[in-house]
Amino acid sequence: MSGVRVGPLAPEDLPRAAEIQATAPEAWSLSALEEELASPCGRLFGLWREGRLEGSAVFQLILDEASLLSLTLEPDCRGLGLGRRLLEESLALLKAQGAARCYLEVRSQNEPALSLYRRLGFEETGRRRGFYQSPPDDALLMELPLPG
């Protein structure tokens, strides 16, 4: 896809990232994004299409373990392969920073996300029953090794 790039978010990108986040059920606020970006463990990445920020991914990297906390695209960008691009390139950047594996949790009813994660090789490792409240749902725990 020409005109698409993925890279780290800067502080000036966070208001737009918060707008994108607001379209998700478990949205991150601007202050939460700012706090995560300021954290030594926080890793925030964006996907720009034709120069406009259209997606964001929030990770934490602790030692060699990355955790995906949020992956959100503008609604009109969903289903175009951009989520996969954002996740793949973010994982490559994390791997370059020393990540050996990535963990995530996802709603058990979120079929588009589950399909993406499974296509990339994430495997289910557990379930947290009743984890999500609005609407009620279980969380599936997933893991992906990032081999050397």
| 3-state SS string for the chain | CCCEEEEECCHHHHHHHHHHHCCCCCCCCHHHHHHHHHCCCEEEEEEEECCEEEEEEEEEEECCEEEEEEEEECHHHCCCCHHHHHHHHHHHHHHHCCCCEEEEEEECCCHHHHHHHHHCCCEEEEEEEEEEECCEEEEEEEEEECCC
Mean pLDDT of the chain: 95
Q: pLDDT tens digits, residue range 29-62?
A: 999 999 999 999 999 999 999 999 999 999 999 9
Which of 34, 36, 54, 117 is catalytic? The answer is 117
Q: Is 117 considered catalytic here? A: yes
> Do the Cβ atoms of 55 and 47 come closer than 8 Å?
yes
pLDDT in tens, 74-86: 988 888 999 999 9
Q: Tell me: the pLDDT tens digits for 6-30? A: 999 999 999 999 999 999 878 899 9
| Six-digit token string for 39 | 């954290």
What pLDDT is stored for residue 148 in this prediction? Answer: 72
CA 56 to chain centre: 7
Place of tokens 């700012």: 34
| Catalytic residue list contains 74 | no
- More confident position, 140 or 135: 140
Catalytic residue, chosen from 65, 105, 123, 132, is 105
pLDDT tops 80 at residue 71: yes
137 has a pLDDT exceeding 70: yes
The stretch 105-113 carries a mean pLDDT of 93
**pTM across the whole model:** 0.93
Please state the rounded mean pLDDT for residues 112-138.
94
Backbone phi, then psi, for 71, in 5-degree steps? -140, 115
Decide if 59 contacts 39 (C-beta within 8 A). no
